[in-house]
Chain A
Amino acid sequence: MITIIDYKSGNLRSISNSFKKIGSKAIITGNPEEIANAKHLVLPGVGAFGTAMENIEPYKGLIYEHIDDGKPFLGICLGLQVLLSSSDEAPRVKGLDIFKGQVEKIPKGRKIPHMGWNQLKQVKNCPILDGLDGESFYFVHSYHAILDDDCNLSGTCDYGIDLTASISRDNVFATQFHPEKSGVPGLKILKNFVNL
């Protein structure tokens, strides 16, 4: 059973559909009890950093506990960015600070948002990326995560500069791209996550 946190953000149905496709049952819930009991927890996210953090506020404690208990956690897109310390998108709002670092606007001189399919370059061992180095994934974002500590970086993609594509530390995983919108390779990532 996969638990997807419903904090009024984005396209949750696609995420639960993709887990269903790989044979896993997923629930979309904002119920604290169900979130506390989750084995695999997914934090999706579309939209703006500030609003997202406001909506995540009631679930912050549950997210920290889940991660401290060593249970698998997956952040997707904005669900990756909110794991960092802060974002230029909402300078006064604090992030979850699970990974030290900043979220910054993608530098000018290219099309923004970074929208479309880009190749993942795996930069360290990471169980959810197993067998997927070099595959294409669907990205859509105007801000990008910059970690203080590169050892938590698991994948990058080339957009004139290297962008953070995925991060991981122990039981915490997050992708800037959308595995639920990335065809078969995306489903494979979710499968890897479910198998943790």
Chain B
Amino acid sequence: MLTKRIIPCLDCDLQVPEGRVVKGVEFKQIRYAGNPVELASKYYEDGADEIVILDITASHERRGTMVNVIERITENVFIPICVGGGIRKVEDYTRMLKAGADKCSTNTAAIHNPQLLTDASKVVGSQAVVIGIDAKRRYVEEDKDAAQGKNIFDTNQGEVWFDCSIYGGREFTGMDAIAWAQECQDRGAGEVLLTSMDGDGTKDGYDLVLTKAINDNVDIPVIASGGVGNPQHILEAFEIADASAALAASIFHFNEYPIPVVKKYLKENGVRIRETF
């Protein structure tokens, strides 16, 4: 049977030639976790099922640096690699794939130009087109007008809908995340990388309501992201929300919970994971 995937995420600052992996607890407090090429190799050897590499500066000028980083990583890492940040044109997809990546994730550029997903999936195939959705809870009680026509879900804190954000959470679109995910699927996206903006960086766990809501409403696989603090959170993403994959960064970077420890825990709790590698 298909196993659940564990995906470490490398948030990269590409303003230095080799790139460096960043883990900001908050924006002001940036910590460096290491070199992306070395960390990717380590995670590969630890049994990561896939690696996501995000250019957090998301600047077009850094494309060359990203290509370089991908080329070096894929010399020794033989698992799928997904690249995100600064993917704006079909040529960005083809360039990253040529460097050795398998998929590209895009968020802001797809919201500004949804046709990008249609065009990219025709050229590189749906399997390489990942839609990044950064969603935030909006409470119906606080703004009933904004909630009109949205998909509403019950939570412990009251009724919510999910608002898509762009520019790494700095701007909100007022677009319903469920409807957007469905449109992306129809346009040819092959996977959703779903980040909870409420959960991101909190270590309180994934937003399971959000993850389940998206997962139940699309046929393509969903990667849960944002908020993971321990292996139990990953178990919940699989057991409660039935996500296809779980993404995490800091719990791996600082060796709080190395990948083998997480996989062992999941296995003991009945989750199908890839054990031999």
Interface residues of A (CB under 8 A from B): 10-14, 17-18, 20-21, 46-48, 108, 111-119, 135-136, 138-142, 158-159, 178, 180-187
Contact = CB atoms under 8 A, between A and B. Distances in A.
Interface string B62-105: 00000000010011101110000000000000000111111000
A183 B128 contact: no
10 contacts: A10-B124, A13-B74, A21-B78, A116-B3, A116-B49, A119-B1, A142-B127, A181-B102, A183-B44, A184-B78
B79 A116 contact: no
Contacts, number: 111
B78 A116 contact: no
Contacts of A140: 80, 102, 127, 190
Contact of A18 (B78, B99, B219): B78
B255 interface: no
Interface of B: 1-5, 44, 49, 71, 74-76, 78-80, 97-102, 122-128, 190-191, 219-221, 244-245, 274-277
Nearest to A8: B94
A55 B242 CA distance: 39
Nearest to A108: B219
Nearest to A135: B276
A136 B71 CA distance: 25
Contacts of B221: 111, 113, 115-116
A148 to B, nearest CB: 26
Nearest to A47: B125
A118 B277 contact: no
